[in-house]
Amino acid sequence: MSGEPILMLYSVHKSFGGVEAVRDLTLSICAGHIYGLIGPNGAGKTTVFNLITGVYPCDLGSIRMADKELTQLKPHQIVRLGLARTFQTIRLFANLTTWEHVRVGQSQSTRPGGRGIFSLDRAHKKRLKEEAHRILDLLGLWEVRFRKASTLPYGIQRKVEIARALGMGPKLLLLDEPAAGLNIQETEDLLKTLGKIYELGITLLIIEHDMRVIMGLCRHIFVLNFGQKIAEGTPDQIRVNEQVIEAYLGKEE
Amino acid sequence: MSSYYLDLFSAMGINILLALSVYSPLATGQLSIGNAGFMAIGAYVSAMLTVHLHLPLFPSLIAGGVFAGVVGVLVGFPALRIKGIFLAMVTLAFGEIVRNFFLNFLTSLTGGAYGFRGIGNRPVSLFWIWGCVAFFLILFFFLSRSRLGLTMMATHDDDTVSELIGINVVHLKVGSFGLGALIAGIAGGLYAHYYLYLEPEFFNVWQSIHMVLYVIMGGMLTFWGPVLGASIFTLLPESLRFLQDWRGAFFGAFIIGLMIARPSGLLTREILRLDFWLPGRRGNLG
C-alpha cells in the first residue's frame, strides 16, 4: 500500500459496562484510498467512528492523526484536524437550509484565514462561497439549496449530510452506512458521488452493509466481529477469508 | 409626547431588551426562566453606583450589565450539563435566589423589602432606552448574518453534531447565556433609572415568564420574533382597555388562539426571507 498513514489506531479498547465493544483494535489508514469497515450487526463499527471522533473516550490505546494524539482532545478539536463524518441515522439541523448546512460545515474550517468570527477577508469569503457552490453541484443539490434540509426526501438528506461534511474540507471522511435506506437507483448514484469525492483527493472510510458499495469501491477492507478485527485485505482476499465467512454465515457443522 | 405614551414606549423598549435577553440563550437551545434575576442584578448594581457612589448614568448602566453578564457566565458553565426542562428549573431557582438576596441582604444600601427609593438624580429618558434597543438590534442583525449566527442556529438544532463539525459548543452556549444576562442587566439598569424605584418583589418568576412569552409568541428562530412579541405584549393590553373587566380574559384567549394558529410564533425565517414573497420562486425550488 502506498501513501503515508493519516490515521492510526493502536490497540484501542472500549467497554460499556461489561460489554467489550472494541477490543485491541489496531488499524492504519493511508492517504488517497477508499477503505471499508464491515462486520455483522453489533460488531462495534459505529463505536470505532465514535472513538475516532472523540464522542466516547477510549479506555486504552492510542489514536493518532497527523502526529497528534486524538484521545486527549475534544470532538471539535479532533474534527478541525481534517476529519469529517456522517451518521448512521441522518442527523441534519432541523431549521437550516441545504446551503446553510454546507456553510455551517465551512464555518470552522482550518484552512488559512478560515477561522475567526467576523472574518473581513473578502477574497476568502468569496472562495468559500464558490467552494460551497462546487460542493452542491458535485452532489446535485444546487436545485434544493434554499429548501429546509429536514423537509427533503430521505435520499437527498443523505447527500446533504455528505455536503455538510465536505464543507469542512476534510482530509479523511468517515461515512456511516451511506447507502442505508437507499433504493438501487440512489445507491448507484451514491457510488458515483463517492467516486468523485475520492477523485478530489479525500480519503474515505466507509461503514456499509451493502456489499455492492464495499466490493465496488474499497481498495482495502477491515472486518470487525465482536469488537475485534478478524481480517483485513483487498475485496478479493476478504471474499474468500474463512473467518469472515464464518462471522457472517456461521460455522458449518 | 404625553406622559402616557412616553411611559408606554419606554416600557416597550425595556420589554424588547428583555425579550432579546431570553432570545440570546434560546438561540443556542437554552431556555432560561430566571432572567428577572439578571435584570435585578443590573438594576440594583447600577442604582447603587449612581445613588451611593454618585457615578454618572452611562458607566453605571454598563457596570450593571457587565456584572449581570459575569454572573450569567458563572451560571452558564454549570448549566451546560443540564438540558431542556431541567435547565429551565435551574434558572428559575437562580432567579428566586437573586430576588431573595435583594430582599434580605444589602438592605442598608437598597432598602430591602421597603424598596429602593431616591434614584432620582440621573433619570434615563426615552432616548436612552431606544438607544440601547437600537444598539442591540444592530448587534443581532450582524450576528444573524454572520458565521457565528449560523453556528448558533446549528447548536440550537443539534449540539452533538455541532460539536462534531468543529463548533466549540461550550464557548458558544456560555457566551450566549452571558450575553443574554448582560442585556437583561442593562434593561434592569434602564428600568431602575426610568421608574426611579425598585423592590425585590418586582423581579419575581412572573417577570421572567413574561420575557419568555414575548419570545415564544413572536417566534424564536429569528431575532425579529422577540422584538415583535415584546411590542405586541406591551401595546395590545393597552389597546384593549375598552374591554374593561374582560381585558385579562380576552388577552389570555388571544395567546391561546395565537399558539394554535402559529405554533412556531408569529415570525419564522421563511417569512423573513425575501424569496418567500416572490411569486413562482418557491414553486421552482419545490
Domain boundaries in chain A?
1-82+170-253, 95-168
Q: For B220, which residue in chain A has the nearest alpha carbon?
A: A95
A1-82+170-253: CATH topology is: Rossmann fold (3.40.50)
Q: Which residues of B touch A146 (CB under 8 A)?
A: 273, 275, 285
Average pLDDT value for residue range A165-183: 94
pTM: 0.90
pLDDT computed for residue B183 by the predictor = 98
Q: For A128, which residue in chain B has the nearest alpha carbon?
A: B147
pLDDT computed for residue A212 by the predictor = 83
**A113 pLDDT higher than 60:** no
State whether B168 and A93 contact (CB < 8 Å). Answer: no
**What is the pLDDT confidence band of residue A119, given thresholds at 50, 70 and 90?**
low
pLDDT computed for residue B175 by the predictor = 96
State whether B166 and A119 contact (CB < 8 Å). Answer: no
Lowest mean pLDDT among A141-155, A238-252, B23-37, B70-84: A238-252
State whether B164 and A119 contact (CB < 8 Å). Answer: no
In contact, B136 and B17? CB cutoff 8 Å: yes
Average pLDDT value for residue range A180-208: 93
**What is the pLDDT confidence band of residue A236, given thresholds at 50, 70 and 90?**
very high
pLDDT computed for residue B275 by the predictor = 55
Average pLDDT value for residue range A66-94: 93
In contact, A102 and A135? CB cutoff 8 Å: yes
**A205 pLDDT higher than 90:** yes
Q: Give the Å distances, CA to CA, from A89 to A157, A179, A213.
A: 11, 11, 18
Q: Which of A75, A80, A104 sits opposite B150 (nearest CB)?
A: A104
State whether A95 and B160 contact (CB < 8 Å). Answer: no
Nearest to B18 by CA among B77, B85, B107, B95: B95
In sequence order, what are the residues at sequence separation of 6 or more whose Cβ sits closer than 8 angstroms to the Cβ of residue A92? A101, A149, A150, A157, A160, A161, A164, B158
Residues of B near A (Cβ–Cβ under 8 Å) read 142, 146-148, 150-151, 153-154, 156-158, 160-161, 163-169, 221, 269-270, 273, 275, 285-286
Phi, psi of B99, deg, nearest 5: -60, -45
Residue A76 CB-half CA count within 13 A: 18
Asked if the ipTM is above 0.85, the reply is yes
State whether B147 and A103 contact (CB < 8 Å). Answer: yes
Q: For A94, which residue in chain B has the nearest alpha carbon?
A: B157
Q: Which residues of B touch A95 (CB under 8 A)?
A: 153, 156-157, 221, 269
In contact, B91 and B75? CB cutoff 8 Å: yes
Listing DSSP states for B165-227 in one string gives: TT--HHHHHHHHHHHHHHHHHHHHHHHHHHH--B-GGGGSHHHHHHHHHHHHHH-SSSTHHHH
- Name the A residues in 117-176 with CB < 8 Å from any B CB: 117-119, 143-144, 146-148, 164-165, 168
pLDDT computed for residue B1 by the predictor = 66
Q: For B147, which residue in chain A has the nearest alpha carbon?
A: A107
**B207: alpha, beta or left? (left if phi > 0; alpha if psi -120 to 50):** alpha
Over its length of 286 residues, how does chain B's per-residue pLDDT go in tens digits?
688 899 999 999 999 999 999 999 999 999 999 999 999 999 999 999 999 999 999 999 999 999 999 999 999 988 888 888 899 999 999 999 999 999 999 988 998 989 999 887 667 889 999 999 999 999 999 999 888 999 999 999 999 999 999 999 999 999 999 999 999 999 999 999 999 999 999 999 999 999 999 999 999 989 999 999 999 999 988 888 888 888 888 888 988 998 899 888 888 877 776 555 554 444 333 3
Q: Which of B142, B161, B275 sits opposite A146 (nearest CB)?
A: B275
**B10 CB neighbour count, 10 Å cutoff:** 21
Mean pLDDT over the full length of chain A:
90
In contact, B155 and B173? CB cutoff 8 Å: yes
Buried/exposed B227-242: b ≥16 CB within 10 Å, e otherwise:
bbbbbbbbeeeeeeee
Tell the residue number behind the cell numbers 435585578, with chain if given.
Answer: B40
Q: Is the CB of residue A236 less than 8 Å away from at least one CB of chain B?
A: no
For the record, the C-alpha cell of B129 comes out as: 432606552
Q: For B148, which residue in chain A has the nearest alpha carbon?
A: A117
A212 compared with B199, residue with greater pLDDT: B199
CA of A242 vs chain B CAs: smallest distance (Å): 37
Q: Which of B142, B165, B169 sits opposite A105 (nearest CB)?
A: B165
State whether A76 and B142 contact (CB < 8 Å). Answer: no
Domain boundaries in chain B?
3-205
pLDDT computed for residue B37 by the predictor = 98
